[in-house]
Amino acid sequence: MEASMSVVTTVFIVVGLLSVAVLVWGFRVARSRDGFAELIRRRKTTARISSMAELVDGGNHIPVALTLERSQIFYESNYLQAKLEIARLDEVEYDSEQGTGKNILRLRAHGQSFQFVLDASSARDWAGLLPAHRFGDPASLTPSGFSPPEVSRRRTW
């Protein structure tokens, strides 16, 4: 009888610990989303578009708030604050990952590549506001002839 009580007690303790772990994990996820919502809300007045993304850094996917403003692209998290100037971008490229169904925004500047994973609707919105283009390749412009004012003054497409 004592052995069965001990097994039941052990099962209850294990289930209790797992429940606490799941609750803590859920709280952390909800709290991080609130943090990203605050980052997006802070830039809302000057942003053309803001969305959640994942910065691909080697094998790591770092959740960030990705914001396009008139002359800069910001990517931020609670631990990271960085920006890229649109005028210094050599290439903007969009790609889709067939296996995952996710879309990739790839930015190249001065030999460095920055990759962001976006969901499909965000990728469409970003492509509408920051079309794919390659420095020195006029054929890579969209039919609308998009050329950011900061870029068109310094570069010839």
For residue 106, name the pLDDT band (cuts at 50, 70, 90): very high
- Say what the pLDDT of residue 46 is: 78
- Say what the pLDDT of residue 90 is: 92
Q: Which CATH class is domain 45-154?
A: mainly beta
Q: What average pLDDT does range 42-54 have in this prediction?
A: 82
Ordered by start, the domain boundaries in the chain are: 45-154
In terms of phi and psi (left: phi > 0; alpha: psi -120 to 50; beta: otherwise), the region of 122 is alpha
pLDDT tens digits for 115-125? Answer: 999 988 889 99
Return the sign of the alpha-carbon dihedral for residues 67, 69, 73, 74.
negative
Average pLDDT, the chain: 78
Q: What average pLDDT does range 39-49 have in this prediction?
A: 76
